[in-house]
Amino acid sequence: MEFIDVILKRRSIRAYKRKNIPEEILMRIIESARLAPSASNLQPWKFIIIRDNKAKQEIARLAKERMWIADASVIIAGVATNPDYRMGSGQSSSAIDIATAFAHMSLAATDEGLGTCWIGSFDSDGSKRFLGIPEKFLLVGLLTIGYPDEKPGEKDRKRIQEIICYEKWSD
Ligand SMILES: Cc1cc2nc3c(=O)[nH]c(=O)nc-3n(C[C@H](O)[C@H](O)[C@H](O)COP(=O)(O)O)c2cc1C
């Protein structure tokens, strides 16, 4: 697929066919996360691949009972393993690093004809406990991946002129 078509096609998918993603396709998607940029190239992440049906159901329950999450072929939990690290700007990079990897995976999955959805709304403590994630790490987000069973309509986006200005800040 042309890159622009991948960008245009990627949408958050919240309905999935109950069909497994072949391992080699999943590994190509994970590879796109492995190659993602991260602050100081620390690669401070671990991605938990959740395929077990019972585990997916528990994750869906912990994600505000959004049970469609369990229909995805895979749920990936993005864990920041160096959550106290700060960039030169003073900002924490951990969520940014995971978000960048998730963006790579979303686009790679789209290119494979798959759908994804970032899940940021979940019981963090309960999910960490369930997944056995050490206390000191941060569970930044969950990413569902699977074969789409919906075609979302067009999504509202701000116009370009609303989101840019030139040289200096202007409202
Ligand atoms: C950081 C982040 C958190 C999100 N959390 C959720 C979520 O908890 N549940 C959900 O259904 N969608 C979630 N989304 C998906 C957004 O709602 C979606 O990206 C947005 O509405 C734009 O739609 P599109 O992805 O189809 O272009 C999240 C997206 C991002 C980037």
Distance 118 CA to ligand 1 centre (A): 5
pTM of the model: 0.98
Question: What pLDDT is recorded for position 43?
Answer: 98
The count of C-alpha atoms lying within 13 angstroms of the C-alpha of 107, restricted to the half-sphere facing its C-beta, is 17
Instruction: Domains for the chain: give ranges and CATH numbers.
Output: 3-163 (3.40.109.10)
Helices (H), the chain: 3-9, 23-34, 53-62, 94-111, 124-131, 160-163
The Cα 140–Cα 149 span in angstroms is 26
Residue 158 in 3-state DSSP?
A: coil
120 lines ligand 1 (CB under 6 A): yes
Residue 75 is predicted with a pLDDT of 98
* pLDDT, tens digit (0-9, with 9 covering 90-100), for 66-102: 999 999 999 999 999 999 999 999 999 999 999 999 9
Q: What is the pLDDT of residues 94-115, one digit of tens each?
A: 999 999 999 999 999 999 999 9
**Nearest-angstrom CA–CA distance, 171 and 97:** 29
Does residue 155 line the site of ligand 1, with CB under 6 A?
yes
Residue 46 pLDDT more than 90?
yes
